[in-house]
Chains A and B, each alone.
Chain A
Amino acid sequence: MDIIKFKEKCRDIRRIIIKSKHRSKSAHLGSAFSAVELLVYLYYDHLNLDLTKKKPDRDYFILSKAHSSILIYAILFDKGIISKKEIEEVDVDGSYLGDHINSQVEGVEYSLGSLGHGLSVASGIALSSKMNGFNNKTIVLLGDGECNEGMIWEAASFAPVQKLKNLIAIIDYNKLQGFGRTSDFSDMTQFSLRWKSFGWNVREIDGHNFDEIKSALNEIRENPDKPLVIIAHTVKGKGVGFIEDKLEWHYKSLNDEQLQRALDELK
């Protein structure tokens, strides 16, 4: 994938997301937008996907910040896995597509919604792959606010001593969480040092930059037998000016006029 295609794809995905959120009136628009570049690179380039979930040695992706489900659903729609009717019926009575990631949906590995669980589950998958001698990887996307949770740090201790080199945690570091800025609840100045001191390979990147995402995922690591964490600096709501870096867009839904303005920006 080249950078031009990448940018087009990110724009398309944001357009699908914003139309869906406008229809469903559900929350978490900003949360999905901050990770578009990361997920587009993973799903269109990096991951060795098997969306039928049949090959045991496929790459695994776990959406720990599960309230960004629409981002995965938009990608699966774009790939033809989810139908037009299904994506138009997000949140409708009887749909599998709701506000949190659901493994009833084809191509989704694991259901979540309560924050803090994903790194442990991903560690278990990576451990299993290691036991089976597979040459695959497991990638998990975490929120920065989610890293308040104690369970994240239990897994953070576990993975390096188990030498889970096949595990990659990506943190969508958008500086906002549910009811405040992440730095209100945790001293983030030494965030990467924290992971380093737990034994992880750490890369800090601009999470909207194609080259930086690519190199972080592909370059040789300092400690080749240890897991990798990518701290991706992002902007919550990235891509639409009036939505960027505002807590309210964790909750608000777009009216018709705002939808139009957003789509105009995403041309």
Chain B
Amino acid sequence: MALGLEASLGDTAITTKLDAVVNWGRQYSLWPFVYGTACCAIEFMSTAASQYDISRWGAEVVRFSPRQADLLLVCGTISYKQAPVLKRIYEQMPDPKWVVAMGACASSGGIYDNYCTVQGIDTIIPVDIYISGCPPRPEAVLDALIKIQDQIKGESVLKDRHKDFKGILD
């Protein structure tokens, strides 16, 4: 039985917190922008294809314009040549936005500890979730998605999460 305000409104309305309702919506309608550069992107293709089917988590609306996306999936190696492009794409995405570093390369440079490879994209843009593996299996990508959803649950709509981030290109 409902108490307080809900009691007087009957079955037609429920009361909740703004954060809760907004986050609920955000969680299940993430629109990914796939920044696929290398081998990891092939595993993302598998994640999106029928067998793993990313749409079971409501994230199948893959956008190819950063302006329409709120989940940046960086799948693959980022070289220094590529870094300004990645940063630009990130900046073009409207807030709120989340970033997943898929695979060893995006997370840390992976096996490419050399002159041309960025040693982890978190030196350029803020990252929320890292996925290990070279490449990670599709299940791991789905796991990361679930983790982002969990994280969103606890966020506040009023807080700017990455206000103080400073990368090597800033």
Q: Do chains A and B interact in one complex?
A: no
Interface residues of chain A, those whose CB is within 8 Å of chain B, are: none
